[in-house]
Structure 1
Amino acid sequence: MLNELFTLKGKRALITGSSRGIGRAIAMLYAEAGAHVIIHGSKPSAKLDEALAEARALGASAEAVSADIGDINAVKGLIQAVGDVDILVLNASMQHYQTVPDFDPETFALDVNANLRSCFLLLQGFLPGMQQRRFGRIISIGSVNQWRPGARLAIYASTKAAQFNLVLNCARAYAADGITANSISPGVIDTDRNAEALADPAIVEKLRSLVPARRFGSAMDCAGAALLLASPAGAYINGADIAIDGGMKL
Protein backbone atom coordinates (compact mmCIF):
# COMPACT_ATOMS: atom_id res chain seq x y z
CA MET A 1 0.00 0.00 0.00
CA LEU A 2 2.77 2.47 0.93
CA ASN A 3 4.64 1.90 -2.32
CA GLU A 4 1.44 2.37 -4.33
CA LEU A 5 0.65 5.66 -2.60
CA PHE A 6 4.02 7.24 -3.31
CA THR A 7 5.00 5.76 -6.65
CA LEU A 8 5.76 7.88 -9.71
CA LYS A 9 6.42 4.88 -11.94
CA GLY A 10 5.64 5.61 -15.58
CA LYS A 11 5.53 9.39 -15.09
CA ARG A 12 7.72 11.97 -16.79
CA ALA A 13 8.80 14.84 -14.54
CA LEU A 14 10.51 18.09 -15.47
CA ILE A 15 12.04 19.88 -12.51
CA THR A 16 13.40 23.28 -13.49
CA GLY A 17 16.54 24.46 -11.72
CA SER A 18 17.37 20.92 -10.58
CA SER A 19 21.15 20.85 -10.95
CA ARG A 20 21.43 21.95 -7.30
CA GLY A 21 19.56 22.79 -4.12
CA ILE A 22 15.86 22.15 -3.65
CA GLY A 23 15.32 21.22 -7.28
CA ARG A 24 18.04 18.59 -7.18
CA ALA A 25 16.63 17.05 -3.99
CA ILE A 26 13.20 16.83 -5.62
CA ALA A 27 14.65 15.28 -8.77
CA MET A 28 16.49 12.60 -6.79
CA LEU A 29 13.44 11.70 -4.71
CA TYR A 30 11.33 11.50 -7.87
CA ALA A 31 14.00 9.27 -9.40
CA GLU A 32 13.80 6.93 -6.40
CA ALA A 33 10.01 6.91 -6.75
CA GLY A 34 10.32 5.61 -10.31
CA ALA A 35 9.78 8.70 -12.46
CA HIS A 36 11.69 9.52 -15.61
CA VAL A 37 13.33 12.72 -14.43
CA ILE A 38 14.32 15.62 -16.65
CA ILE A 39 16.99 17.59 -14.85
CA HIS A 40 17.32 21.21 -15.89
CA GLY A 41 20.05 23.80 -15.52
CA SER A 42 20.41 27.30 -16.89
CA LYS A 43 23.44 26.15 -18.92
CA PRO A 44 25.65 23.09 -19.34
CA SER A 45 27.73 22.65 -16.20
CA ALA A 46 29.54 20.17 -14.01
CA LYS A 47 26.70 20.38 -11.48
CA LEU A 48 24.17 19.44 -14.15
CA ASP A 49 26.30 16.47 -15.20
CA GLU A 50 26.70 15.39 -11.58
CA ALA A 51 22.96 15.57 -10.95
CA LEU A 52 22.26 13.45 -14.01
CA ALA A 53 24.84 10.89 -12.94
CA GLU A 54 23.37 10.77 -9.43
CA ALA A 55 19.86 10.13 -10.77
CA ARG A 56 21.08 7.34 -13.03
CA ALA A 57 23.07 5.83 -10.18
CA LEU A 58 19.75 5.46 -8.35
CA GLY A 59 18.63 3.27 -11.22
CA ALA A 60 16.37 5.92 -12.70
CA SER A 61 15.70 6.85 -16.27
CA ALA A 62 16.94 10.41 -16.57
CA GLU A 63 18.03 13.10 -18.99
CA ALA A 64 19.50 16.58 -18.66
CA VAL A 65 18.52 19.77 -20.47
CA SER A 66 19.74 23.34 -20.28
CA ALA A 67 17.98 26.61 -21.01
CA ASP A 68 18.02 30.15 -19.67
CA ILE A 69 14.49 30.50 -18.29
CA GLY A 70 14.79 34.28 -18.47
CA ASP A 71 14.99 34.06 -22.27
CA ILE A 72 11.62 33.61 -23.96
CA ASN A 73 13.05 31.75 -26.96
CA ALA A 74 15.11 29.46 -24.72
CA VAL A 75 11.99 28.51 -22.75
CA LYS A 76 10.08 27.75 -25.95
CA GLY A 77 13.03 25.65 -27.10
CA LEU A 78 13.02 23.80 -23.78
CA ILE A 79 9.34 22.93 -24.17
CA GLN A 80 9.95 21.54 -27.65
CA ALA A 81 13.03 19.59 -26.59
CA VAL A 82 11.37 17.99 -23.57
CA GLY A 83 8.08 16.91 -25.12
CA ASP A 84 5.13 15.95 -22.92
CA VAL A 85 5.47 15.77 -19.15
CA ASP A 86 3.13 14.48 -16.48
CA ILE A 87 4.70 16.41 -13.61
CA LEU A 88 5.97 19.98 -13.88
CA VAL A 89 7.92 21.43 -10.96
CA LEU A 90 8.43 25.17 -11.34
CA ASN A 91 11.50 25.57 -9.19
CA ALA A 92 14.05 27.69 -11.07
CA SER A 93 14.10 31.36 -10.10
CA MET A 94 16.25 34.45 -9.73
CA GLN A 95 16.57 36.83 -6.81
CA HIS A 96 18.36 40.12 -6.26
CA TYR A 97 18.85 41.49 -2.76
CA GLN A 98 17.73 45.07 -3.30
CA THR A 99 15.12 47.41 -1.90
CA VAL A 100 12.51 48.96 -4.21
CA PRO A 101 14.43 52.25 -4.78
CA ASP A 102 17.56 50.29 -5.72
CA PHE A 103 16.01 48.38 -8.60
CA ASP A 104 16.65 49.50 -12.14
CA PRO A 105 14.27 48.45 -14.94
CA GLU A 106 16.72 45.91 -16.35
CA THR A 107 17.16 44.05 -13.07
CA PHE A 108 13.43 44.21 -12.41
CA ALA A 109 12.84 42.58 -15.81
CA LEU A 110 15.37 39.83 -15.05
CA ASP A 111 13.48 38.76 -11.92
CA VAL A 112 10.03 39.02 -13.49
CA ASN A 113 11.01 37.13 -16.63
CA ALA A 114 12.81 34.34 -14.79
CA ASN A 115 10.30 33.92 -11.97
CA LEU A 116 6.92 34.64 -13.53
CA ARG A 117 7.03 34.79 -17.33
CA SER A 118 8.88 31.47 -17.53
CA CYS A 119 6.20 29.79 -15.39
CA PHE A 120 3.47 31.16 -17.64
CA LEU A 121 5.25 29.92 -20.76
CA LEU A 122 5.91 26.46 -19.31
CA LEU A 123 2.30 26.11 -18.22
CA GLN A 124 1.12 27.27 -21.63
CA GLY A 125 3.40 24.71 -23.24
CA PHE A 126 2.60 21.65 -21.11
CA LEU A 127 -1.02 22.09 -20.02
CA PRO A 128 -2.58 21.04 -23.36
CA GLY A 129 -0.85 17.65 -23.22
CA MET A 130 -1.89 17.16 -19.61
CA GLN A 131 -5.49 17.93 -20.58
CA GLN A 132 -5.39 15.42 -23.42
CA ARG A 133 -4.04 12.67 -21.14
CA ARG A 134 -6.35 13.80 -18.33
CA PHE A 135 -3.49 13.78 -15.86
CA GLY A 136 -1.10 16.42 -14.65
CA ARG A 137 0.69 17.58 -11.55
CA ILE A 138 1.88 21.19 -11.33
CA ILE A 139 4.01 22.14 -8.34
CA SER A 140 5.48 25.59 -7.96
CA ILE A 141 8.24 26.34 -5.50
CA GLY A 142 7.33 29.65 -3.98
CA SER A 143 8.80 31.30 -0.90
CA VAL A 144 7.89 32.40 2.59
CA ASN A 145 8.59 35.85 1.13
CA GLN A 146 5.31 35.74 -0.79
CA TRP A 147 3.57 35.86 2.61
CA ARG A 148 6.18 37.69 4.65
CA PRO A 149 8.19 39.78 2.16
CA GLY A 150 11.69 40.84 3.06
CA ALA A 151 12.54 44.47 2.32
CA ARG A 152 15.61 43.45 0.31
CA LEU A 153 13.69 40.84 -1.69
CA ALA A 154 10.87 43.11 -2.81
CA ILE A 155 10.64 42.03 -6.44
CA TYR A 156 11.43 38.37 -5.75
CA ALA A 157 8.64 38.29 -3.17
CA SER A 158 6.23 39.98 -5.58
CA THR A 159 6.95 37.50 -8.37
CA LYS A 160 6.46 34.57 -6.01
CA ALA A 161 3.10 35.93 -4.89
CA ALA A 162 2.09 36.31 -8.54
CA GLN A 163 3.32 32.80 -9.31
CA PHE A 164 1.08 31.40 -6.58
CA ASN A 165 -1.88 33.32 -7.98
CA LEU A 166 -1.19 31.76 -11.37
CA VAL A 167 -1.11 28.31 -9.76
CA LEU A 168 -4.44 28.98 -8.04
CA ASN A 169 -5.93 29.90 -11.39
CA CYS A 170 -4.77 26.57 -12.85
CA ALA A 171 -5.99 24.66 -9.80
CA ARG A 172 -9.51 25.90 -10.36
CA ALA A 173 -9.52 25.85 -14.16
CA TYR A 174 -8.09 22.38 -14.82
CA ALA A 175 -9.11 20.19 -11.87
CA ALA A 176 -11.85 18.55 -13.93
CA ASP A 177 -9.17 17.50 -16.43
CA GLY A 178 -7.37 15.42 -13.79
CA ILE A 179 -4.77 18.12 -13.16
CA THR A 180 -3.78 19.43 -9.74
CA ALA A 181 -1.78 22.60 -9.12
CA ASN A 182 -0.16 23.37 -5.79
CA SER A 183 2.61 25.41 -4.25
CA ILE A 184 5.37 24.78 -1.73
CA SER A 185 6.73 27.81 0.12
CA PRO A 186 10.16 27.20 1.64
CA GLY A 187 11.51 29.39 4.41
CA VAL A 188 15.24 29.63 5.12
CA ILE A 189 16.74 26.53 3.52
CA ASP A 190 20.40 25.69 3.94
CA THR A 191 21.48 25.36 0.30
CA ASP A 192 24.42 26.61 -1.72
CA ARG A 193 22.21 29.39 -3.07
CA ASN A 194 21.90 30.81 0.43
CA ALA A 195 25.48 30.08 1.43
CA GLU A 196 26.68 33.66 1.08
CA ALA A 197 23.90 35.13 3.21
CA LEU A 198 24.22 32.38 5.83
CA ALA A 199 27.97 32.96 6.10
CA ASP A 200 27.30 36.13 8.09
CA PRO A 201 26.71 35.25 11.79
CA ALA A 202 24.65 38.40 12.34
CA ILE A 203 22.27 37.50 9.49
CA VAL A 204 22.07 33.90 10.68
CA GLU A 205 21.06 34.98 14.17
CA LYS A 206 18.49 37.44 12.87
CA LEU A 207 16.91 34.88 10.55
CA ARG A 208 16.93 32.16 13.16
CA SER A 209 15.07 34.45 15.56
CA LEU A 210 12.24 34.67 13.00
CA VAL A 211 11.83 30.89 12.83
CA PRO A 212 9.83 29.34 15.70
CA ALA A 213 11.66 26.04 15.14
CA ARG A 214 14.95 27.95 15.70
CA ARG A 215 16.68 26.11 12.89
CA PHE A 216 16.94 26.24 9.13
CA GLY A 217 15.53 23.64 6.77
CA SER A 218 17.18 21.34 4.28
CA ALA A 219 16.44 20.76 0.61
CA MET A 220 15.08 17.31 1.45
CA ASP A 221 12.52 18.89 3.79
CA CYS A 222 10.99 20.41 0.65
CA ALA A 223 11.39 17.29 -1.50
CA GLY A 224 9.09 15.20 0.67
CA ALA A 225 6.21 17.61 0.16
CA ALA A 226 6.91 17.68 -3.59
CA LEU A 227 6.67 13.89 -3.71
CA LEU A 228 3.36 13.95 -1.85
CA LEU A 229 1.87 16.46 -4.30
CA ALA A 230 3.01 14.48 -7.34
CA SER A 231 2.03 11.03 -6.12
CA PRO A 232 -1.30 9.19 -5.75
CA ALA A 233 -1.18 10.03 -2.02
CA GLY A 234 -1.71 13.69 -2.88
CA ALA A 235 -4.21 13.29 -5.72
CA TYR A 236 -6.97 15.17 -3.87
CA ILE A 237 -4.79 18.12 -2.86
CA ASN A 238 -5.43 21.05 -5.17
CA GLY A 239 -4.83 24.78 -4.84
CA ALA A 240 -2.83 24.36 -1.65
CA ASP A 241 0.25 26.17 -0.44
CA ILE A 242 2.42 24.11 1.89
CA ALA A 243 4.78 26.16 4.01
CA ILE A 244 8.10 24.41 4.66
CA ASP A 245 9.50 27.06 6.95
CA GLY A 246 9.64 25.90 10.56
CA GLY A 247 6.75 28.27 11.29
CA MET A 248 8.35 31.41 9.86
CA LYS A 249 5.12 32.32 8.06
CA LEU A 250 3.21 32.50 11.35
Structure 2
Amino acid sequence: MDKDIVLSVAGNFSSVSVELAEVWRKDVIDSMLFARLYADSNVDRFAQPQQWYKYHSEAMSKSKWEVGSHRFSSFESGENTSFVLKQLIRNRLSLDLAQAKQYERLMNCFQQASASELIASSAVKHALDYQGEDQISTVSTIALQVSLVVRGPALYTGFVCFKTGQAVCDNLFNQEFKSELVSGEVIVGVTKLVLNKSSYERARMREKILGSLPEMTAPLVVNLFADDEPHCSS
Protein backbone atom coordinates (compact mmCIF):
# COMPACT_ATOMS: atom_id res chain seq x y z
CA MET A 1 0.00 0.00 0.00
CA ASP A 2 1.31 3.44 -0.90
CA LYS A 3 2.17 5.68 2.02
CA ASP A 4 3.36 9.26 2.30
CA ILE A 5 4.89 11.40 5.01
CA VAL A 6 2.83 14.56 5.52
CA LEU A 7 4.53 17.62 6.97
CA SER A 8 4.05 21.31 7.51
CA VAL A 9 7.38 22.90 6.56
CA ALA A 10 6.99 26.41 7.97
CA GLY A 11 3.42 26.38 6.67
CA ASN A 12 4.17 24.62 3.36
CA PHE A 13 1.89 21.58 3.44
CA SER A 14 4.06 18.83 1.99
CA SER A 15 3.73 15.18 1.04
CA VAL A 16 7.00 13.23 0.87
CA SER A 17 6.77 9.90 -0.93
CA VAL A 18 8.35 6.97 0.90
CA GLU A 19 9.78 6.00 -2.49
CA LEU A 20 12.29 8.83 -1.97
CA ALA A 21 15.46 7.37 -0.47
CA GLU A 22 15.62 8.15 3.23
CA VAL A 23 19.16 9.52 2.88
CA TRP A 24 17.74 12.41 0.83
CA ARG A 25 14.57 13.12 2.80
CA LYS A 26 16.12 15.41 5.37
CA ASP A 27 18.12 17.26 2.70
CA VAL A 28 14.94 17.93 0.72
CA ILE A 29 13.01 19.13 3.77
CA ASP A 30 15.91 21.36 4.82
CA SER A 31 16.03 22.87 1.31
CA MET A 32 12.30 23.58 1.45
CA LEU A 33 12.60 25.16 4.89
CA PHE A 34 15.57 27.28 3.80
CA ALA A 35 13.66 28.58 0.75
CA ARG A 36 10.56 29.37 2.79
CA LEU A 37 12.49 31.28 5.46
CA TYR A 38 14.64 33.04 2.87
CA ALA A 39 11.59 34.32 1.03
CA ASP A 40 9.85 35.32 4.28
CA SER A 41 12.93 37.28 5.36
CA ASN A 42 12.89 39.34 2.16
CA VAL A 43 9.23 40.18 1.62
CA ASP A 44 5.79 39.72 3.15
CA ARG A 45 4.10 37.01 1.07
CA PHE A 46 0.66 38.30 2.04
CA ALA A 47 1.47 41.77 0.70
CA GLN A 48 3.69 40.86 -2.29
CA PRO A 49 3.00 37.22 -3.19
CA GLN A 50 4.62 37.26 -6.63
CA GLN A 51 7.82 38.81 -5.29
CA TRP A 52 7.77 36.31 -2.42
CA TYR A 53 7.51 33.43 -4.86
CA LYS A 54 10.42 34.87 -6.84
CA TYR A 55 12.60 34.86 -3.72
CA HIS A 56 11.46 31.34 -2.89
CA SER A 57 12.45 30.13 -6.38
CA GLU A 58 15.78 31.96 -6.10
CA ALA A 59 16.57 30.15 -2.84
CA MET A 60 15.75 26.76 -4.34
CA SER A 61 18.01 27.54 -7.30
CA LYS A 62 20.85 28.47 -4.94
CA SER A 63 20.32 25.07 -3.30
CA LYS A 64 21.00 23.32 -6.68
CA TRP A 65 17.38 22.63 -7.59
CA GLU A 66 16.95 22.95 -11.35
CA VAL A 67 13.73 24.23 -12.90
CA GLY A 68 11.83 21.68 -14.94
CA SER A 69 8.88 24.02 -15.44
CA HIS A 70 7.60 27.25 -13.92
CA ARG A 71 4.33 29.07 -14.54
CA PHE A 72 2.84 32.09 -12.83
CA SER A 73 -0.63 33.34 -13.65
CA SER A 74 -3.49 35.33 -12.20
CA PHE A 75 -7.19 35.62 -12.88
CA GLU A 76 -10.27 37.40 -11.64
CA SER A 77 -13.27 35.26 -10.87
CA GLY A 78 -16.13 35.82 -13.26
CA GLU A 79 -19.54 36.89 -12.09
CA ASN A 80 -21.47 34.18 -10.25
CA THR A 81 -18.52 31.78 -10.38
CA SER A 82 -16.51 30.05 -7.70
CA PHE A 83 -13.39 27.93 -7.27
CA VAL A 84 -12.15 25.19 -4.94
CA LEU A 85 -8.48 25.25 -3.91
CA LYS A 86 -8.05 21.49 -4.20
CA GLN A 87 -9.11 21.56 -7.85
CA LEU A 88 -7.43 24.87 -8.65
CA ILE A 89 -3.99 23.59 -7.66
CA ARG A 90 -4.50 20.13 -9.14
CA ASN A 91 -5.54 21.51 -12.52
CA ARG A 92 -2.35 23.57 -12.83
CA LEU A 93 0.19 21.00 -11.67
CA SER A 94 1.50 18.71 -14.39
CA LEU A 95 1.34 15.36 -12.59
CA ASP A 96 1.54 11.83 -13.85
CA LEU A 97 -0.85 9.17 -12.57
CA ALA A 98 1.24 8.19 -9.53
CA GLN A 99 1.80 11.83 -8.55
CA ALA A 100 -1.89 12.62 -8.99
CA LYS A 101 -2.71 9.79 -6.60
CA GLN A 102 -0.19 11.16 -4.11
CA TYR A 103 -1.85 14.58 -4.38
CA GLU A 104 -5.27 13.05 -3.71
CA ARG A 105 -3.91 11.26 -0.65
CA LEU A 106 -2.54 14.56 0.61
CA MET A 107 -5.94 16.21 0.17
CA ASN A 108 -7.58 13.29 1.98
CA CYS A 109 -5.20 13.80 4.88
CA PHE A 110 -6.42 17.36 5.29
CA GLN A 111 -9.96 16.06 5.61
CA GLN A 112 -8.86 13.87 8.52
CA ALA A 113 -7.53 16.82 10.51
CA SER A 114 -9.28 20.18 10.35
CA ALA A 115 -7.55 23.11 8.63
CA SER A 116 -7.61 25.04 11.89
CA GLU A 117 -5.57 22.31 13.58
CA LEU A 118 -3.07 22.28 10.71
CA ILE A 119 -2.66 26.03 10.90
CA ALA A 120 -2.18 25.84 14.65
CA SER A 121 0.62 23.30 14.15
CA SER A 122 2.82 26.03 12.66
CA ALA A 123 4.10 29.25 14.18
CA VAL A 124 1.58 32.11 14.00
CA LYS A 125 3.68 34.08 11.51
CA HIS A 126 3.47 31.15 9.08
CA ALA A 127 -0.33 30.93 9.21
CA LEU A 128 -1.93 30.83 5.78
CA ASP A 129 -5.13 32.63 6.81
CA TYR A 130 -4.15 36.18 7.75
CA GLN A 131 -6.24 39.12 8.96
CA GLY A 132 -4.86 42.60 9.57
CA GLU A 133 -4.64 44.22 12.97
CA ASP A 134 -7.81 46.15 12.23
CA GLN A 135 -10.32 43.90 13.94
CA ILE A 136 -13.17 45.62 12.12
CA SER A 137 -11.93 44.27 8.80
CA THR A 138 -13.48 40.99 7.70
CA VAL A 139 -11.11 40.45 4.73
CA SER A 140 -8.73 37.50 4.97
CA THR A 141 -5.65 36.90 2.84
CA ILE A 142 -5.04 33.28 1.87
CA ALA A 143 -1.41 32.44 1.02
CA LEU A 144 -1.29 28.70 0.53
CA GLN A 145 1.66 26.55 -0.53
CA VAL A 146 1.38 22.82 -1.23
CA SER A 147 4.27 20.57 -2.28
CA LEU A 148 4.75 17.00 -3.46
CA VAL A 149 8.18 15.43 -3.07
CA VAL A 150 8.75 12.38 -5.26
CA ARG A 151 11.59 10.03 -6.11
CA GLY A 152 14.46 11.81 -7.82
CA PRO A 153 14.26 13.91 -5.72
CA ALA A 154 11.79 16.05 -7.64
CA LEU A 155 9.48 18.68 -6.19
CA TYR A 156 6.10 19.86 -7.45
CA THR A 157 4.83 23.04 -5.77
CA GLY A 158 1.62 25.00 -6.05
CA PHE A 159 1.17 28.46 -4.52
CA VAL A 160 -2.12 30.38 -4.32
CA CYS A 161 -2.78 33.82 -2.88
CA PHE A 162 -5.96 35.91 -2.81
CA LYS A 163 -8.14 38.09 -0.58
CA THR A 164 -11.67 37.18 0.40
CA GLY A 165 -14.45 38.54 2.53
CA GLN A 166 -15.85 35.05 2.90
CA ALA A 167 -15.55 33.25 6.22
CA VAL A 168 -12.81 30.62 5.98
CA CYS A 169 -13.98 27.20 7.10
CA ASP A 170 -11.98 24.34 8.60
CA ASN A 171 -12.07 22.29 5.39
CA LEU A 172 -10.16 24.97 3.51
CA PHE A 173 -9.08 22.88 0.52
CA ASN A 174 -12.63 21.83 -0.32
CA GLN A 175 -14.26 25.17 0.45
CA GLU A 176 -16.07 26.85 -2.44
CA PHE A 177 -14.83 30.45 -2.70
CA LYS A 178 -17.40 32.69 -4.36
CA SER A 179 -16.32 35.30 -6.90
CA GLU A 180 -18.38 38.13 -5.44
CA LEU A 181 -16.48 37.79 -2.15
CA VAL A 182 -12.98 37.62 -3.69
CA SER A 183 -11.20 40.97 -3.79
CA GLY A 184 -8.89 41.47 -6.78
CA GLU A 185 -6.94 38.74 -8.53
CA VAL A 186 -6.29 35.15 -7.59
CA ILE A 187 -2.54 34.56 -8.02
CA VAL A 188 -1.31 31.05 -8.82
CA GLY A 189 2.26 29.78 -9.21
CA VAL A 190 3.28 26.20 -10.07
CA THR A 191 6.82 24.88 -10.30
CA LYS A 192 8.56 21.59 -10.97
CA LEU A 193 12.12 21.32 -9.62
CA VAL A 194 14.67 18.51 -9.79
CA LEU A 195 17.61 18.34 -7.41
CA ASN A 196 21.00 18.15 -9.12
CA LYS A 197 22.49 15.74 -6.61
CA SER A 198 26.03 15.95 -8.01
CA SER A 199 26.10 19.77 -7.84
CA TYR A 200 24.48 19.64 -4.40
CA GLU A 201 27.23 17.38 -3.09
CA ARG A 202 30.11 19.22 -4.81
CA ALA A 203 28.94 22.59 -3.47
CA ARG A 204 28.56 21.14 0.06
CA MET A 205 25.03 22.51 0.13
CA ARG A 206 24.03 20.24 3.00
CA GLU A 207 26.43 22.01 5.36
CA LYS A 208 25.65 25.47 3.97
CA ILE A 209 21.89 25.06 4.35
CA LEU A 210 22.17 23.67 7.86
CA GLY A 211 24.39 26.61 8.78
CA SER A 212 21.76 29.07 7.60
CA LEU A 213 18.81 27.48 9.42
CA PRO A 214 17.74 28.31 12.98
CA GLU A 215 19.26 26.14 15.69
CA MET A 216 15.79 24.87 16.56
CA THR A 217 13.86 23.77 13.49
CA ALA A 218 11.51 21.35 15.24
CA PRO A 219 8.73 23.96 15.69
CA LEU A 220 8.90 24.74 11.96
CA VAL A 221 8.87 21.20 10.59
CA VAL A 222 5.80 19.47 11.98
CA ASN A 223 4.65 15.94 11.23
CA LEU A 224 0.92 16.49 10.83
CA PHE A 225 0.13 13.04 12.16
CA ALA A 226 1.42 11.57 15.40
CA ASP A 227 3.78 8.62 15.23
CA ASP A 228 1.06 6.30 16.50
CA GLU A 229 -1.26 7.34 13.68
CA PRO A 230 -0.96 5.95 10.15
CA HIS A 231 0.65 8.00 7.42
CA CYS A 232 -1.67 8.95 4.60
CA SER A 233 -2.29 6.00 2.35
CA SER A 234 -4.52 4.95 -0.48
TM-score band, normalised by shorter chain: under 0.3
Instruction: Flag the structure with higher strand content.
Output: 2
Please report the TM-score for the alignment, with normalisation by the length of structure 2: 0.24
Greater RCO between the two (CA within 8 Å, min separation 6)? 2
Please report the TM-score for the alignment, with normalisation by the length of structure 1: 0.23
Instruction: Flag the structure with higher helix content.
Output: 1
